[in-house]
Structure 1
Amino acid sequence: MTEPNHPLRAGQYIRQPAGYRAFVPAPLPPDPPIKLQGELQALLSQADRALGRLDGSIQTLPHPDLFVAMYVRKEAVLSSQIEGTQSSLQDVLAAEARVFSPDQPGDVNEVFNYVRAMNYGLERLRDLPVSVRLIREIHTELLAGVRGQHLTPGELRTSQNWIGPAGCTLAEATFVPPPPHEVPQALSDLEAFLHADTPLPLLVKIGLAHAQFETIHPFLDGNGRIGRLLITFLLCEKEVLLKPVLYLSYYFKRYRSQYYDHLQAVRDHGAWEQWLAFFLRGVFEVSQQATYTARRILMLREQHRQIITAQLGRAAGNGHRVLEYLYQHPIVSVTEVQELIGTTYPAANHLVMRLVEQGILHEFTGQKRNRRFIYRDYTNLFHDEPQEARNENGS
């Protein structure tokens, strides 16, 4: 039996016929077993409690599905940014609302694909467990029609890939995943681990699975995004979260170098406990932030409902309908509002102008025609959270 943090604990580097060394992971769970004690046990308890509070907070939101779309967009933006995309949340919302700008990044469709892959996977979980089959289907959705579409979407790689600085060769790589003939078995072992009846706590199991997937790197492109989607799917499949509101990519992006260093330390030194501590801190921190955001949504909604009731008179009913619509579509045109409330264009325009006067909507194109209005107070909640979110509950 190997000792904790022994190099062979996570797998081993094996020289290939072409002369390079590739890493072949050992099946999960690690041997010797994870030592859940001391700081790691405390972090697990902390993360479990924070995740429970987050799930409860989302359930207290009226019509939670209205708000989940923004959490999903945020995760999509951040996960895609880790892989080099430039699109911001504002870019994504503007593109959805068909606000075209010469400054709009060309990679916004990659973020759209992430959102579509997330929603597709969650829908498929009703009929299909998290599995190699599901992962391949999601990969197809992720790469359809965007950068990487020529790299066999949905198909396991049949050639060697490697990780390192842009433009580096195989010989210069920071990490070389398993050779292609090892990939099917490694994924099969991972799937068996996911569905095995083990005493490991779920968050520990998910942390191990994410790291293992990134080590296997089974596709020619999109492995990081699929690996992060896997976290969400496992949390929702096990109903730890009823809605996909844990944007863990915020934490991975913020501590990007540590994220990659911990994954590499698992491969090189079998440092599973150190990786899990990092992962659980992320679950705790982001759960707190997302819970704080949910509370601020409730406060904002109540504040603006009161303003509409007090200031819009007979138009208050339609004002409330528009407000609810804005939580799912934070950028609107007068024509959209007209279709929503079923009135004339002048009446819809008058209502929008009154919402502008009350500071609820803001016109942001500066144009006389094709104007678009943003619910900025709401979208601002999904930018980087203020310090208060990280300081609550003694963090």
Structure 2
Amino acid sequence: MAAIKGVKKLPVSVNSRQAAELFMKLANISSEIGRLDEKFRRSILKSDLINTLALKESVQSTRIEGTQVTFTDMIEHSHKSEQKSEHIEVLNYQRALTVGQERILNGYPLTTRLILELHTTLMDGPARGTNIASGEFRKVPNWIGPTKRFEDAAYIPVPANEIEEYMNNWELFANKHPYGEKLETSHLPQEAFILDEDTHPLLKVAILHAQFESIHPFLDGNGRLGRILIALFMMQSKQISSPIFFVSEELEKQRSRYYHLLNETRGDNPNWFNWLNFFLDASKRMADKLNILLDNAEGLALNGLKKCDTHNQKQIYLLTFRYPNITANQVSEQFRIAPLTARRILNSLNELGLIFKDPAQKRNIEYFNYDLLDLLDH
């Protein structure tokens, strides 16, 4: 089968029946995400849990690309002085997500400039692809397929000399034109239902993700960066107040379908409905899962706090929701207390059964919040 070539510019369209089906699903999912955000804003965990959820997302997103690292690996290796390249890849993803979150909270929109900055962070150090044009759009052709041979390509992205033009179109769709001008729609079929820059943010983020992957502006890191942009656009569009809505876990479960449906949005006769329908379903499953996870994590934290006798115990116990594998040095630095004091409080939490330390360890002791890790593994 011949490779699909290129992608049409944004906006996109579906037929009227498909639009009705999408919008019926959308109302339910949007309210579920709103409920999740409201619940998160009232949670005692907030930023502590964000860090752990971001690490889990980083693992799931890099696994889509074929790495074998697991969430448990990352937790167990979090204090190792030397990290494997796959671990660095996950940590870079988490760092890029954090940088993006800070930029969005400070009012920076998703622009080409921010995307280049995030790519530089993503490709830092001895991780996969880091020797290949970090923070720069590709200047050579690229292709996507089951092998590295051009003959086996399933999709050939837009030529390198058209990337800036396509990314400018992407940016205008994401942020709208500063003077209210609408994007060109003459490339869309007549009688079609147009999903333009004013469409619902959840459909819009699905379109932006697929289009970014189709432009494929970098030689490496496109998939990972494209999934970071999902969480950041959900923040920018005020669907969520923190980067807690991640769909990589659901996409990773159906990796082959994910790639197939992305490919359907390309070429001269794109099918956007199947991809958008799939993305909404994945978003619904993820919103349901996150709502349950937050309820369970909140319940776990509240029950644990009841067992704590002192304010310091409570503070340090909550910190283990940010760092499920924690050391006395970490606690010492975080709260500016003596390492000996930190160790004593961690030991008291261990005696209360709230965290676990291996009694065989005598130096560089690590304390695990296994109750939280158990919740995150389901």
Separation of aligned partners in 2, 1:138 and 1:248: 19
Offset of residue 173 of structure 1: 1.0
* 2:356–2:370 Cα contact (<8 Å) kept: yes
Q: 1:159 to 1:62 in 2, by over 3 A?
A: same
Tell me by how many angstroms 1:289 deviates.
0.8
Give the C-alpha shift of residue 278 in structure 1. 0.3
Contact conserved, 1:66 with 1:327, CA < 8 A, in 2?
Answer: yes
Give 3-state SS (helix, strand or coil) of 2:5's partner.
strand
1:373 maps onto 2:364 in alignment = no
Q: Does residue 342 of the first structure (1) align with residue 337 of the second (2)?
A: yes
Q: What is the CA–CA distance in structure 2 between the aligned matches of 1:34 and 1:249, rounded to whole Å?
A: 29
C-alpha contact (below 8 Å) 2:305/2:314 kept by paired residues: yes
CA contact (8 A) 2:45 2:298 kept: no
Q: Note closer, same or farther for the CA distance 1:184–1:341 as it changes in structure 2 (3 Å cut).
A: closer
Match of 1:58 in 2: 40
Counterpart CA distance in 1 for 2:222 and 2:331 is 40
Please tell me whether residue 116 in structure 1 is matched to residue 77 in structure 2: no
Query: Structure 1 residues 100, 361: closer, same or farther in 2, change over 3 A?
Result: farther
Partner of 1:286: 286
Equivalents in 2 of 1:124, 1:234: separation in Å? 12
Deviation by residue 1:164-217 (Cα, 9 ceiling, x = unmatched) = 124x31111121111211212111111121222644111111111111111110
- For structure 1, which segment, 233-242 or 87-96, has the greater mean C-alpha deviation from structure 2 after superposition? 87-96
Kept in 2, the 8 Å contact 1:308–1:319? The answer is yes
2:133 equivalent to 1:152? yes
Q: Does 1:227 align with 2:226?
A: yes
How far, CA to CA, are the matches of 2:306 and 2:276 in structure 1?
45
Is 1:332 the counterpart of 2:326 in the alignment?
Answer: yes
Residue 251 of structure 1 contacts residue 282 of structure 1 at CA under 8 Å; is this kept in 2? yes
Check the 8 A contact 2:293/2:375 in 1, yes or no.
yes
Using the size of structure 1 for normalisation, the TM-score is 0.83
The amino acid across from 2:64 in the alignment is I
Provide closer, same or farther for how the CA distance between residues 192 and 373 of structure 1 changes in structure 2, counting only shifts above 3 A: same
Establish whether residue 272 from structure 1 lines up as the match of residue 272 from structure 2: yes
Q: Which amino acid aligns with 2:89?
A: E
Structure 2 unaligned residues grouped into runs of 5+: 181-196
Q: Are 1:29 and 2:29 counterparts?
A: no
Residue 176 in 1 paired to residue 156 in 2? yes
Contact 2:13–2:272 under 8 Å retained in 1:
no
State percent identity of aligned pairs.
29
Relative distance call for 1:144 and 1:335 in structure 2 (3 A) is closer
Q: Do the aligned partners of residues 333 and 276 (structure 1) sit closer, same or farther apart at CA in structure 2, a change above 3 Å counting?
A: same
For residue 82 of structure 1, what is the aligned residue in structure 2? Answer: 64
User: What's the TM-score once normalised by structure 2's chain length?
Assistant: 0.87
Which AA in structure 1 matches 2:252?
A: K
Q: Which amino acid aligns with 2:146?
A: P
- Residue 39 (structure 1) aligned with residue 21 (structure 2): yes
SS of structure 1 residue aligned to 2:245: coil
RMSD over aligned Cα, in angstroms?
Answer: 2.4
Partner Cα separation in structure 1 for residue 62 and residue 329 of structure 2: 32
* CA deviation vs aligned residue, 1:284-311 (integer Å, no higher than 9, x gap): 11011111111111100111111224xx
Aligned to 1:131: 111
Aligned AA (1:250): E
- The answer to whether the 8 A contact 1:334-1:348 is kept is yes
Work out which of the residue numbers 143, 146, 153 in structure 2 matches 1:165: 146
Say which of 314, 323, 326 aligns to 1:320: 314
Distance (whole Å) between structure 1 residues aligned to residue 116 and residue 198 of structure 2: 28
Cα separation, 2, equivalents of 1:371 and 1:306: 25
Which secondary structure does the structure 1 equivalent of 2:155 belong to?
coil
Structure 2 counterpart of 1:249: 248
Q: Is the 8 A contact 1:74 1:247 kept in 2?
A: no
Contact 1:334 1:349 in 2 (8 A): yes
Does residue 296 of structure 1 match 2:296? yes
Residue type matched to 1:70 in 2? T
